[in-house]
Amino acid sequence: MWFNIDQRSSTPIYQQLVEGVKEAVAKGVLSPGDRMPSVRELATRIAINPNTIAKAYQELEREAVIETLRGRGTFVSTCGNQMGIEEKKKKIAPMLNRILVEAYHMQMEEQEMLSLMEETVREWYRERRQR
């Protein structure tokens, strides 16, 4: 489940939660409009300090992954992240860069890399559509 955190990882707990939620939403495990557990509920459920959870929720809200409707609770965003195409590129490009650096050090060829990427991307989106 997205809120299973790994205590031994060096990633801070709130960061793991943020990434967990993002991944769940991206994979379709959490759909737009789904209700998120309240800070209190989640703190009780996984026995984590509620401030840590509040911090994760704040960040998720800042990135518009989730939204809080007053009086109703916290839900997965329906409208999603409205970023301009330039902004999106700026965020993704460095991540791609890092992957390419590693691939280079593993001595992967350009064509190898491209076909691997295409395969992975298509597979990912295919799985998502099937949910």
Which residues here bind another protein, judged by CB under 8 A?
A: 5, 7, 10, 12-13, 39-40, 43-45, 47-52, 105-106
Tokens of residue 89, six digits = 């590129």
Name residue, tokens 């700026």: 90
* Distance of closest approach, residue 14 Cβ to another protein, in angstroms: 9
Q: 51 or 120, CB closer to another protein?
A: 51
* Distance of closest approach, residue 55 Cβ to another protein, in angstroms: 9
Q: 12 or 28, CB closer to another protein?
A: 12
Angle among Cα 7, 33, 70 to the nearest 5 degrees reads 90
Burial readout 22-43 (b: 16 or more C-beta within 10 A, e: otherwise): bebbeeeebeeeeebbebeebb
Q: 52 or 74, CB closer to another protein?
A: 52
Task: Work out the end-to-end distance of the chain between its first and last CA atoms, rounded to an integer number of angstroms.
Answer: 16
* Distance of closest approach, residue 118 Cβ to another protein, in angstroms: 26
Q: 21 or 53, CB closer to another protein?
A: 53
